[in-house]
Amino acid sequence: MQNTPLIHDPDGGMPRLLEIMRCLRDPDTGCPWDIEQNFNTIAPYTIEEAFEVADAIARSDWGELEGELGDLLLQTVYHTQMGEEAGHFTFDTVVKSISDKMVARHPHVFGDESRDKSSEQQTADWEKIKATERAGKAQTRTLDGVAIGLPALTRAVKLQKRAARVGFDWPDTSHVIDKIVEEAGELVEARDTMTKTEMVDEFGDLLFVVANLARHLDIDPEDALRGTNAKFTRRFEAIEDVLAAENKTPAQSDLAEMDALWDAVKVQEKKRQD
């Protein structure tokens, strides 16, 4: 049993959490499940925790956010513990790395550069610094360094932004919209003759162009879709509430009735907004 004083010290801070993770991963006395994990098996949990942080923020649930940030911090501690075991890095070197990066990327705060810059100029300078960092890592191709593990729509936008920097971009939204119509038409017209693999490929092309339209309109597609998901949930639950008042469930209703209720919910929402 792992029972060091630090583990039970409520004021132990970061050293306490690091010690807890070390004990959980101890090959002789740790938790069997934790011992079995590796970078690949923990990575999905890391992504999930990041989304749960975003969800708490979207709901302005600050008590929940506190817990979710702790869960996300635990993911960093988990990965750094495994990194130390494998001899790749330690928690201290990870902290040093990000600290050095933040100082290097903010010369207008920590260096001699003037802070008298527009947000656009600061963004441009930030990208130049990142490009220099990528060159130092031998990431010389335009699309190098765009993380594969990002949500697909977010990664699509980042890839498109990188390509646009070197001139590979449509000049205005009309070309993007034309391409959306073209891709959607191809998918619909050929759906009866394409294989499933071909349909998936064509549908991916359509989503990629929609992401491009979002970029041209300065819209975060992930944020837009999250908003629509929330709106759909809110409206469908309103339909359920109306049906429940009539002692009915959606399964006991039909499309025509639910569609009419949907329209009524939209009208009520618009009235509240006005």
Tell me the pLDDT of the chain (274 aa) as tens digits: 567 889 999 999 999 999 999 999 999 999 999 999 999 999 999 989 998 998 899 889 999 999 999 999 999 999 999 999 999 999 999 999 999 999 988 888 898 888 887 777 777 777 777 777 766 676 678 888 888 888 899 999 999 999 998 899 999 999 999 999 999 998 888 888 888 898 999 999 999 999 999 999 999 998 899 889 999 999 999 999 999 999 999 999 999 999 999 999 999 988 888 7
Contacts of residue 54, defined as CB under 8 A and 6 or more positions apart, other chains included, come to none
What's the start-to-end Cα distance of the chain, in Å? 63
Place of tokens 């429940």: 244
Give the SS3 label for residue 172: coil
Model pTM score: 0.63
d(CA 151, CA 225): 12
What's the Cα-to-Cα distance from 149 to each of 33, 102, 113, 138, 203, rounded to whole Å? Answer: 24, 22, 34, 20, 20
d(CA 175, CA 159): 18
Instruction: Measure the CA angle with vertex 56, ends 55 and 61; round to 5°.
Output: 150
Please name the amino acid found at residue 177. Answer: I
- Token output for 261: 């209720």
* Per-residue pLDDT tens over the stretch 23-36: 999 999 999 999 99
d(CA 185, CA 179): 10
Contacts of residue 202, defined as CB under 8 A and 6 or more positions apart, other chains included, come to 183, 186, 187, 190, 194
Closest CA to 257 of 240, 234, 270: 240
Distance of CA 114 to the CA centre of its chain: 33
Closest CA to 201 of 180, 213, 181, 186: 186
* Per-residue pLDDT tens over the stretch 99-134: 999 998 888 889 888 888 777 777 777 777 777 776
- Token output for 255: 């499309």
d(CA 28, CA 23): 9
DSSP letter for each residue of 61-74: -HHHHHHHHHHHHH
